[in-house]
Structure 1
Amino acid sequence: MPSHVLIVDDDPVQRRLLKGTCERSGLKVDLAEDGESAMSMIKRSAGGFDVVVLDLVMPGVGGIAVLEWMAENAPDIPVIVQTGQGGIETVVRAMRAGAHDFAVKPVSPERLLLAIGNAVRSSGGAKGGDTERAGGKRVGGFDDIVVASPAMDRILGLARRAAVSDIPVVLEGESGVGKELIAKAIQSESARRTKPYVTVNCGAIPENLVESILFGHEKGAFTGAVDSHMGKFAEADQGTLFLDEIGDLPTDVQVKLLRAVQDGEIETIGSRTKRKVDIRLISATHKDLIEEVKAGRFREDLYYRLNVFPIHVPPLRQRKEDIPELARHFTRRFAEATGRSPTLTLTADAMALLTAHDWPGNIRELENAVHRAVVLSETDRLTADLFPQVSDSCTSYRVSELADRDRVSAGQAARSEASRNEAQAPALQPEDGWIGSAYPAREAGPHTRQDASAVSAGEHPAVRGSDMAGALAAISPTGDVRPLADVEEELIRFALHFYRGQMSEVARRLGIGRSTLYRKLKDYQIDPGDPLRVAA
């Protein structure tokens, strides 16, 4: 029997698109055009819906009001909220109101079906093959990877394509993002699935033992070599070798690794003969290898040998959609491991708290936090107070956010005052060489004409004597218009300083996504902690 989905959206085009997506996957679909109709249909169905896809912004009864009503009247029906306002505050508010998952518009069909499948399975309402198809059920090694975000769906799609060949793969990304899990999945779905899978953490081996561990040694090859050792390359022959943290390999070992990758031959320490090996190589690193090449710490020829199929795994803060599913997965796993009730669940407040956190330690940090909470919990519900480290972090975020709002209010007041004076102020001409900030400094008076060179040096009244740069220079000291990239870099630095490094707020105010912001920080080599630099 197919799963039954209620789609609630005030946009008729969006309703039709979502309905078509669900019905093509074998789901039964009902539609509601507003919150009031949705509540009426849920009440009449008496639990007949398996999942609700709910728009947050609707006229009349909005999505949050529907969520709060369902928390009281239909708590067993999971709700997937969709919103065009992707800010973390909106998401946290929805999760706190009881949402099971969220998706930012425009929602791709794959993301929607994955969310519906996860929601139905999580609520225990899976109904055979239709649910599994809708949820994008994974097979083989990828079955163990919990994902809900479009970003990770794309990553797994690349990994699946890599698995069907022996192409060398480099998995890039911060520590704890799941690189090793993806490497195992590639092995499990490859033609070498029945052959050895050998892992080596290159960063955990003493430098003087790396060569011996990788390539082996003969008895008596060096002091202490009382027995022969075949090495990881020989162990992995006919199978897969996973080199974790390959960026930490000493440069002299990189030469031998290049020869092994290039010629398929290894030379054991103390041996006069070479040995042929047939391996599939997967590497992983948290470092930027191209930067390591530029710095002379990683061989360029080895880099191009290994980096044939690079896969960048984004950090958890850039794929917030994965957090609820991962948190539920870890809760179930640790409940089973510790003999707790299988009905152990996270409260809405706890889920909102976990979703709001940026998780600098990524999945590993989230896993540890949930494990601790499961051990400490004395009931069948994991509450927000069981995550004190996360609570402290999010409290700091909220305090900072309130301070930001105070500054914005002050800026609005300043703008109002400036607008009252604007009628008497001389009009600002293009040759004045500056662009007024959206947040003028408190000391700034009415705009006055200013020499371009003085403005470029940061001498405009809106800048001078203020702790926040109030203007961006548009004219260079030579009298030419500055390149757009320079102005963009300065504006990003200004926003980081103004919003105290709160990435979500900076991205939202600049009108770009968080991933775009992080990419631009990397492009411009901006450290969020750097002091604000005024153009010179």
Structure 2
Amino acid sequence: MAAQILVIEDDPVQRRILTGMIERLGHVAHVADNGRAGLDVLLRRGARIDVILLDLMMPEMDGHAVLAALAERNITTPAIVQTGQGGIETVVLAMQAGAFDFVVKPVSPERLAVAIGNALKQSGRPARGSTSRRSRGDVVRFEDVVSASEAMIRVLDLARRAAQSSIPVVLEGESGVGKEMVARAIQSGSDRAGKPFITVNCGAIPANLVESILFGHEKGAFTGATEKHAGKFVEADGGTLFLDEIGDLPLAVQVKLLRAVQQGEIETVGARLPQKVDVRLISATNKDLITEVREGRFREDLYYRLNVFPIAIPALRRRKEDIPLLVRNFVEIFSSEQRLAKTRTVSHGAMALLTAYDWPGNIRELESAIYRAVVMAEHSELDVTDFPQLAVTLPDGHAHGVVPHLSPEPLRGEATAGVHAPFAAMPHSGPAQGAASLSPAERRAMRSAETVTDSAIPSVDAGGNVRKLAEVEEELIRFALKFYRGQMSQVARKLGIGRSTLYRKLKDYGIDPDDPFSEAA
């Protein structure tokens, strides 16, 4: 049965595009051109809406106001928010307000399908073409790779192409981004599926044993060689050999590896004749191999033999869209492994915190954090306090309802930036005294009065002379930063300049963008 998807989007072109995507997925699209109209549809149709696709930037009633209204009315329909402006701070606010997932405009059909599929699973509806969950075993299919971001969709597309041949592949990326998982998916998607997949961590083997472990040795070939050893190349014959951290391979061994790649034969230590092997090589590195070549640590001829089909896997902080999906996947896996009666859930605050954090250890660090939380949690819902390694970075008294202090990068493909600790509490948005007892109109009036008082920028100096343009500009930038509470995209837009120009002026005037509310010295 088709799912009912509500699209709340003020741009008519975007509404048509999204409606077409949704209908091609086999679902029914309902549309609203603003937040109020969308709420009317929800209230009129009730539980018959399965997923909400919500634009954040709309006139009159924006996406944040819609999320607040949903929470106030206890409407639990999963909402996927769309953002085309601002940075990750906008997304974090939306997730704290209850958003289930987020996508970055322009969203691809593949990304939208993943988001809707997971939202339908959350709402208890079967998803058409929904992705499988990550396997914990050795066999990994492309469908098992949990991904949602455009960057990872491109990676998997390249990996599928590589799987159609035995072309050597180099997977580039930081430690923990999932290079081995992509390598296993390539193996499973190739005609070598079901054949051996042998992994060798070149950086974990003592230099004097690398040659023997890779190519094998004959009995008596060297002191201590009491038995014949086949070597990893022979073990992988007919299948795939995954050489992890290949940049750490000693130069002497690189020569023999080059021959194995060029001629398909290896020289076993102590053997008289070379041995033919049929091995597909997939290498991985967290180093810049071309730099290693320039500095003489990696052979240039081997580099060009191995680097025929390079695939760069972005760090997790550059594909924030994957985090909610990975979090739910790990929670499901570990809840099952711990034989919990009910799969744990994740609170909005915890999901916002996990999405905002930079994860320098990438997926491996995220997986460990979720594992610890699932095992140690005292309640069925994981909250901010269940992630003490992240929660300790919050100011005292702000364990809940926090907005991380984020680096102001836009959510654009691989340019997406995250955040390292520390975090900062959400800026206060109104008068400190007696605000709770005032009506919304009175609070707005008080804020306006405060703003008028603070916004006077003098045009002349104490001597009656017109001030220098640079001085006035610096004060205006500082005021805009304070007025828009450090939201760089909005500051640049309201000042009528580009983001790069804004950052250059911040540097010229010595303004710290990470402390936008400080006054001029």
Q: TM-score range by the shorter chain?
A: 0.7 to 0.9
Measure, in 2, the Cα distance between the counterparts of 1:144 and 1:426: 63
Matched, 1:368 2:368: yes
Matched, 1:132 2:157: no
**Cα contact 1:169–1:310 (8 A) shared by 2:** yes
Indicate the SS of the match to 2:209.
Answer: helix
Measure, in 1, the Cα distance between the counterparts of 2:509 and 2:170: 32
Measure, in 2, the Cα distance between the counterparts of 1:27 and 1:496: 53
Q: Which residue of 2 aligns with 1:100?
A: 100
Letter of the 2:114 counterpart: L
Q: Deviations over 1:429-486 (max 9, x none)?
A: xxxxxx98964799xxxxxxxxxxxxxxxxxxxxxxxxxxxxxxxxxxxxxxxxxxxx
Measure, in 2, the Cα distance between the counterparts of 1:418 and 1:123: 56
Q: Which residue of 2 aligns with 1:328?
A: 328
Q: Relative to structure 1, is the Cα distance of residues 497 and 156 closer, same or farther in structure 2, using a 3 angstrom cutoff?
A: farther
Measure, in 2, the Cα distance between the counterparts of 1:205 and 1:314: 26
Task: Write the mapping of 1:187-206 to structure 2, written as runs, cut at 5 A.
Answer: 187-206=187-206
Matched, 1:297 2:284: no
Task: Write the mapping of 1:46-85 to structure 2, written as runs, cut at 5 A.
Answer: 46-85=46-85
**Cα contact 2:474–2:509 (8 A) shared by 1:** no
Matched, 1:159 2:156: no
Indicate the SS of the match to 2:392.
Answer: helix
Matched, 1:398 2:423: yes
**Cα contact 1:415–1:440 (8 A) shared by 2:** no
Q: Deviations over 1:339-359 (max 9, x none)?
A: 113331000000011011011
Measure, in 2, the Cα distance between the counterparts of 1:320 and 1:240: 31
**Cα contact 1:415–1:439 (8 A) shared by 2:** no
Aligned length: 440
Indicate the SS of the match to 1:310.
Answer: strand
Q: Which residue of 2 aligns with 1:145?
A: 145
Q: Which residue of 2 aligns with 1:524?
A: none
Q: Which residue of 1 aligns with 2:215?
A: 215
Task: Write the mapping of 1:513-524 to structure 2, written as runs, cut at 5 A.
Answer: none
Give structure 2 stretches of 5+ with no counterpart. 396-420, 429-452, 478-499, 517-521
Indicate the SS of the match to 1:148.
Answer: coil
Indicate the SS of the match to 1:7.
Answer: strand
Measure, in 2, the Cα distance between the counterparts of 1:101 and 1:110: 15
Letter of the 2:200 counterpart: V
Task: Please report how far the alpha carbon of residue 76 of structure 1 lies from its aligned counterpart in structure 2 after TM superposition.
Answer: 3.6
Q: Which residue of 1 aligns with 2:494?
A: none
Measure, in 2, the Cα distance between the counterparts of 1:53 and 1:149: 17
Task: Please report how far the alpha carbon of residue 114 of structure 1 lies from its aligned counterpart in structure 2 after TM superposition.
Answer: 2.1
**Cα contact 1:357–1:393 (8 A) shared by 2:** no
Measure, in 2, the Cα distance between the counterparts of 1:194 and 1:369: 32
Q: Relative to structure 1, is the Cα distance of residues 60 and 425 closer, same or farther in structure 2, using a 3 angstrom cutoff?
A: closer
**Cα contact 1:149–1:320 (8 A) shared by 2:** yes
**Cα contact 1:414–1:440 (8 A) shared by 2:** no
Indicate the SS of the match to 1:177.
Answer: coil
Q: Deviations over 1:35-80 (max 9, x none)?
A: 2222222222231111100011222332112212323545442110
**Cα contact 2:19–2:29 (8 A) shared by 1:** yes
TM-score normalised per structure 1: 0.76
Q: Relative to structure 1, is the Cα distance of residues 438 and 496 closer, same or farther in structure 2, using a 3 angstrom cutoff?
A: closer
Measure, in 2, the Cα distance between the counterparts of 1:40 and 1:222: 81
Q: Which residue of 1 aligns with 2:9?
A: 9
Task: Please report how far the alpha carbon of residue 14 of structure 1 lies from its aligned counterpart in structure 2 after TM superposition.
Answer: 1.6
Letter of the 1:354 counterpart: L
Q: Relative to structure 1, is the Cα distance of residues 347 and 399 closer, same or farther in structure 2, using a 3 angstrom cutoff?
A: closer
Matched, 1:284 2:284: yes
Matched, 1:117 2:117: yes
**Cα contact 1:359–1:366 (8 A) shared by 2:** yes
Task: Write the mapping of 1:194-273 to structure 2, written as runs, cut at 5 A.
Answer: 194-273=194-273
Q: Which residue of 2 aligns with 1:41?
A: 41
Identity among equivalent positions (%) equals 56
Q: Deviations over 1:248-276 (max 9, x none)?
A: 10111111111111111100001111001
Letter of the 1:323 counterpart: I
**Cα contact 1:330–1:370 (8 A) shared by 2:** yes
Task: Please report how far the alpha carbon of residue 140 of structure 1 lies from its aligned counterpart in structure 2 after TM superposition.
Answer: 6.8
**Cα contact 2:459–2:472 (8 A) shared by 1:** no
**Cα contact 2:8–2:32 (8 A) shared by 1:** yes
Measure, in 1, the Cα distance between the counterparts of 2:473 and 2:367: 41
**Cα contact 1:114–1:136 (8 A) shared by 2:** no
**Cα contact 1:216–1:230 (8 A) shared by 2:** yes
Q: Relative to structure 1, is the Cα distance of residues 146 and 263 closer, same or farther in structure 2, using a 3 angstrom cutoff?
A: same
**Cα contact 1:117–1:136 (8 A) shared by 2:** no
Measure, in 2, the Cα distance between the counterparts of 1:185 and 1:13: 37
Greater relative contact order (Cα 8 A, min sep 6): structure 1 or 2? 2
**Cα contact 2:460–2:466 (8 A) shared by 1:** no
Q: Deviations over 1:308-334 (max 9, x none)?
A: 000000001000000000000010111
Measure, in 1, the Cα distance between the counterparts of 2:271 and 2:82: 63
Q: Relative to structure 1, is the Cα distance of residues 436 and 220 closer, same or farther in structure 2, using a 3 angstrom cutoff?
A: farther
Measure, in 2, the Cα distance between the counterparts of 1:36 and 1:495: 44
Question: More deviation in 328-337 or 62-71?
Answer: 62-71
Q: Which residue of 1 aligns with 2:337?
A: 337
Q: Deviations over 1:497-522 (max 9, x none)?
A: 854779xx9xxxxxxxxxxxxxxxxx
Q: Which residue of 1 aligns with 2:444?
A: none
Output the aligned Cα RMSD: 3.2
Q: Which residue of 2 aligns with 1:89?
A: 89
Letter of the 1:267 counterpart: E
Question: More deviation in 307-316 or 370-379?
Answer: 370-379
Letter of the 1:275 counterpart: Q
**Cα contact 1:7–1:32 (8 A) shared by 2:** yes
Task: Please report how far the alpha carbon of residue 27 of structure 1 lies from its aligned counterpart in structure 2 after TM superposition.
Answer: 1.1
Measure, in 2, the Cα distance between the counterparts of 1:179 and 1:86: 30
Measure, in 2, the Cα distance between the counterparts of 1:436 and 1:318: 37
Measure, in 1, the Cα distance between the counterparts of 2:337 and 2:508: 46
Q: Relative to structure 1, is the Cα distance of residues 158 and 118 closer, same or farther in structure 2, using a 3 angstrom cutoff?
A: same
Measure, in 1, the Cα distance between the counterparts of 2:512 and 2:149: 27
Indicate the SS of the match to 1:53.
Answer: strand
